[in-house]
């Protein structure tokens, strides 16, 4: 490997209060991020364990290229058995913790056990000198922004943080894991949102992790000259091409108008695929606010060239939130009948503070509204509900536990979810390949597992497109690259080859992605999942949208073909993440 410091794991036992550092097994040397998280969970975690019990593992694994000079390569995978789905879960997140962890020479942090006192809170500090646990009871119950503000007064300016808010401490299944960005204020605005992994972190009694790499240099590749030349040429091509487009130049929020045109901007708990409020929710309204209010676009992690994260200010020019993205504008906005992007910005900030997945929370609130308990479009009521989540009221806990829990509690049958996880903005009725991914991914309804935005696809082609996208995204999530950098498999294998000092073939890189999927599927099989769990939500099969009366109508036996590997074609290696 390029640097022997990267060959270590941190193992934390919260029951014993111990921390051990050990070498990475030889068999795991080429694994990073999602692929490493999946392998550790399959080999070291009992798939039948209680997700919020001591035997579950919580894993923080940067991508293989994190901490290097490769552009936009520092993303972090957070993995565990999900309390939301009961299956394996990886949530991928930006911010600086992934960069810092790899610069310190750690391939992953693996946390097991839980303290005897469920009210006890702990911090894990990771520096060049090692890793140690210490009590953090004084931070119990703090919201994320207040927590980081307090920590910033006691840690060096070079430190980054991973944390949970009250939702994680209450072990709610919609809880997220926050990472700080590279801004001077270190906003806890980057979230590993999906799957309730914040609840797993809360079950371990772990309030936060600090990572201080100081001024440690970037990790050095074995073929340094070739690696740096590739980084420069890739960066130049990206900045002269995709970076000039509305997306990713202005971030995902500007996808609203295009999504609305193809009936994948869900309205009022997905009863329609288009919203009458698309104009006032369009992310271009955020872009227009920059000139008068300040804010703008920035990179969430050191070394990012995409800079797709918006910084949103209020009418007085004060910072409110960052990375107000398309999924949040959709699920907390249109899907709840809320018309103003400014109200959604308030809700986004509250979710980041409390530590909640905006997709799962928006879906849950929309189901609550659809049940008749609350009017669609009631933005102030939605904000009050988020306050109740932080307070731990009965209603707050219901919504905080996600869409399926809310449907069960309210008795409302219209629950758009797959494998227990709320369907994201990209609707499976017009986007069949996305629907195949939701049904066959071990993650459940997660667009980041393999999204294809191509309406009108032939059904058999949709299955193949989903499989290819799932392979690609598994590799990208394992590399540390951001999906918005849009690398293809040929480019990833070139970076891997120069970094590792060996040839990485097309077969090897596609096998890496496929093996990651197989590990995830096998974990779920051992956890008790079967083909019956691959079913699309009933409401997606019966409730038609658009002039074509689109429903989810793909036969289960056709969807199941995604589990049988197709012979790789050239297009697989040229495919870019959507």
The CATH number that applies at residue 293 is: 1.10.569.10
Residue 25 has pLDDT above 80, yes or no: yes
Query: Region 243-266: what's the mean pLDDT?
Result: 95
Q: How far apart are the first and last CA of the chain?
A: 31
Tell me what pLDDT residue 301 has: 95
Q: Are residues 186 and 52 in the same domain?
A: yes
Q: 392 lies in a domain?
A: yes
Q: Are residues 298 and 359 in the same domain?
A: yes
How far apart are alpha carbons 369 and 398 in whole angstroms? 13
User: Against a cut of 0.75, is the pTM above it?
Assistant: yes
Q: Are residues 85 and 191 in the same domain?
A: yes
Neighbours of 530 (CB within 10 A): 8
Q: Are residues 195 and 86 in the same domain?
A: yes
Last residue in a domain, options 166, 194, 212: 212
Q: 44 lies in a domain?
A: yes
Total number of domains in the chain: 3
Residue 401 has pLDDT above 50, yes or no: yes
Q: 237 lies in a domain?
A: no
* H-assigned helices in 110-253: 144-152, 166-169, 197-203, 224-240, 246-249
Strands 159-163 and 309-313: unpaired
Residue 199 has pLDDT above 50, yes or no: yes
Last residue in a domain, options 389, 416, 443: 416
Q: Which two tokens stand for residue 136?
A: 């953090």
Residue 2 has pLDDT above 70, yes or no: no
Q: 335 lies in a domain?
A: yes
Residue 100 has pLDDT above 70, yes or no: yes
CATH number of the CATH domain containing 131: 3.60.9.10
Q: Are residues 184 and 283 in the same domain?
A: no
Q: Are residues 135 and 260 in the same domain?
A: no
Strands 159-163 and 206-212: antiparallel
Task: Give SS3 for 298.
Answer: strand
CATH number of the CATH domain containing 560: 1.10.599.10
Residue 4 has pLDDT above 50, yes or no: no
For residue 413, give the nearest of 268, 533, 539, 540 by alpha carbon.
539
| Tens-place pLDDT, residues 412-441 | 999 999 999 999 999 999 999 999 999 999
Task: Specify the DSSP element, H or E, that contains 38.
Answer: helix 33-44
Query: Region 262-268: what's the mean pLDDT?
Result: 98
Q: Are residues 398 and 438 in the same domain?
A: no
Q: Are residues 8 and 133 in the same domain?
A: yes
Query: Region 372-388: what's the mean pLDDT?
Result: 98
Q: Are residues 411 and 464 in the same domain?
A: no
Which residues on neighbouring strands pair with residue 135, listed in sequence order? 122
- Counting Cα atoms < 13 Å in the Cβ hemisphere of 558 gives 17
Q: Are residues 85 and 149 in the same domain?
A: yes
Tell me what pLDDT residue 578 has: 83
Tell me what pLDDT residue 6 has: 54
Dihedral through CA 48, CA 54, CA 55, CA 60, nearest 10?
110
For residue 457, give the nearest of 534, 576, 554 by alpha carbon.
554
**Do residues 37 and 453 make contact, with C-beta atoms less than 8 angstroms apart?**
no
Q: Are residues 470 and 385 in the same domain?
A: no
Q: 221 lies in a domain?
A: no
Neighbours of 120 (CB within 10 A): 16
Dihedral through CA 99, CA 105, CA 111, CA 116, nearest 10?
-110
Tell me what pLDDT residue 491 has: 98
Q: 489 lies in a domain?
A: yes
Question: In terms of C-beta density within 10 A (0-12 exposed, 13-18 middle, 19 or more buried), how is residue 370 classed?
Answer: buried
| Tens-place pLDDT, residues 503-514 | 999 999 999 999
Residue 1 has pLDDT above 60, yes or no: no
Q: Please count the helices (runs of H) and the strands (runs of E) in the chain.
A: 23, 17
Q: Say which DSSP state 567 is in.
A: P
Distance of CA 574 to the CA centre of its chain: 24
Q: Say which DSSP state 272 is in.
A: B
Query: Region 338-349: what's the mean pLDDT?
Result: 98
Distance of CA 397 to the CA centre of its chain: 22
3-state secondary structure 452-506: CCCCCCCHHHHHHHHHHHHHHHHHHHHHCCCHHHCCCHHHHHHHHHHHHCCCCCH
Q: Are residues 78 and 198 in the same domain?
A: yes
Give percent of the chain above pLDDT 70.
Answer: 99
Q: 220 lies in a domain?
A: no
Q: 421 lies in a domain?
A: no
Residue 404 has pLDDT above 70, yes or no: yes
Tell me what pLDDT residue 236 has: 97
User: Domain limits at 505?
Assistant: 432-574
| Tens-place pLDDT, residues 289-320 | 999 999 999 999 999 999 999 999 999 999 99
Last residue in a domain, options 193, 212, 231: 212
In the chain, what is the greatest distance between 2 CA atoms, to the nearest angstrom?
63
Residue 94 pLDDT grade (very low, low, confident, very high; cuts 50, 70, 90): very high
| Tens-place pLDDT, residues 139-179 | 999 999 999 999 999 999 999 999 999 999 999 999 999 99
Cis, peptide link before residue 248, omega less than 30° from 0: yes
**Do residues 289 and 312 make contact, with C-beta atoms less than 8 angstroms apart?**
yes
Query: Region 96-108: what's the mean pLDDT?
Result: 97
């Amino acid at each position: 490997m390029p640097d022997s410091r990267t060959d270590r794991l941190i193992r934390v036992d919260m029951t014993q209060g111990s921390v051990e550092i050990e070498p990475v097994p030889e068999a795991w040397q080429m694994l990073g991020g999602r692929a490493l998280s999946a392998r550790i969970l399959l080999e070291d975690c009992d798939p039948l364990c209680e997700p919020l019990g001591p035997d579950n593992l919580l894993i923080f694994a940067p991508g293989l290229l994190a901490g290097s000079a490769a552009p936009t390569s520092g993303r972090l995978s957070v993995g565990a058995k999900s309390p939301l789905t009961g299956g394996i879960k990886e949530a991928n997140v930006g911010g600086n913790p992934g960069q810092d962890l790899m610069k310190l020479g750690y391939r992953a942090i693996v946390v097991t056990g839980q303290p005897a006192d469920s009210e006890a809170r702990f911090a894990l500090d990771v520096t060049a000198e090692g890793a140690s646990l210490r009590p953090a009871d004084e931070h119990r119950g703090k919201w994320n922004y207040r927590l980081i503000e307090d920590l910033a007064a006691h840690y060096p300016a070079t430190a980054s943080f991973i944390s949970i808010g009250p939702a994680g401490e209450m072990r709610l299944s919609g809880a997220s894991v926050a990472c700080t960005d590279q801004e001077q204020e270190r906003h806890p605005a980057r979230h590993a949102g999906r799957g309730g992994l914040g609840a797993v972190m809360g079950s371990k009694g772990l309030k936060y992790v600090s990572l201080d790499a100081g001024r440690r240099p970037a990790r050095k590749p074995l073929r340094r000259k070739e690696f740096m030349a590739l980084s420069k040429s890739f960066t130049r091509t990206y900045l002269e091409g995709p970076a000039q487009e509305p997306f990713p130049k202005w971030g995902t929020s500007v996808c609203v108008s295009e999504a609305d045109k193809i009936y994948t901007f869900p309205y009022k708990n997905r009863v329609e695929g288009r919203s009458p409020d698309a104009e006032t929710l369009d992310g271009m309204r955020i872009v227009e606010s920059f000139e008068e209010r300040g804010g703008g676009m920035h990179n969430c992690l050191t070394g990012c060239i995409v800079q797709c994260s918006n910084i949103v200010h209020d009418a007085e020019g004060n910072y409110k939130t960052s990375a107000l993205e398309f999924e949040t504008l959709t699920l907390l906005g249109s899907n709840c009948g809320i018309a103003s992007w400014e109200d959604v910005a308030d809700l986004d900030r509250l979710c980041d503070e409390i530590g909640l997945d905006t997709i799962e929370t928006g879906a849950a609130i929309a189901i609550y509204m659809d049940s008749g308990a609350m009017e669609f479009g009631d933005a102030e009521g939605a904000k009050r509900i988020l306050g109740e989540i932080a307070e731990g009221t009965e209603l707050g806990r219901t919504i905080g536990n996600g869409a399926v829990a809310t449907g069960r509690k309210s008795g409302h049958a219209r629950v758009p979810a797959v494998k227990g996880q709320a369907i994201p903005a990209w609707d499976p009725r017009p986007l069949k390949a996305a629907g195949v991914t939701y049904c066959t991914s071990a993650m459940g309804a997660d667009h980041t597992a393999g999204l294809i935005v191509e309406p009108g696809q032939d059904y058999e082609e949709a299955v193949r497109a989903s499989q290819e996208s799932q392979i690609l995204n598994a590799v990208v999530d394992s590399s540390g690259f951001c999906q918005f950098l849009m690398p293809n498999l040929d480019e990833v294998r070139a970076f891997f080859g120069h970094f590792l000092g060996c040839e990485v073939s097309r077969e090897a890189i596609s096998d890496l992605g496929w093996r990651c999927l197989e590990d995830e599927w096998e974990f779920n099989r051992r956890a008790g999942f079967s083909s019956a769990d691959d079913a699309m939500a009933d409401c997606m099969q019966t409730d038609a949208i658009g002039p074509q009366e689109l429903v989810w109508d793909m036969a289960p036996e056709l969807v199941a073909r995604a589990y049988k590997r197709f012979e790789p074609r050239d297009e697989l290696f040229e495919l870019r993440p959507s």
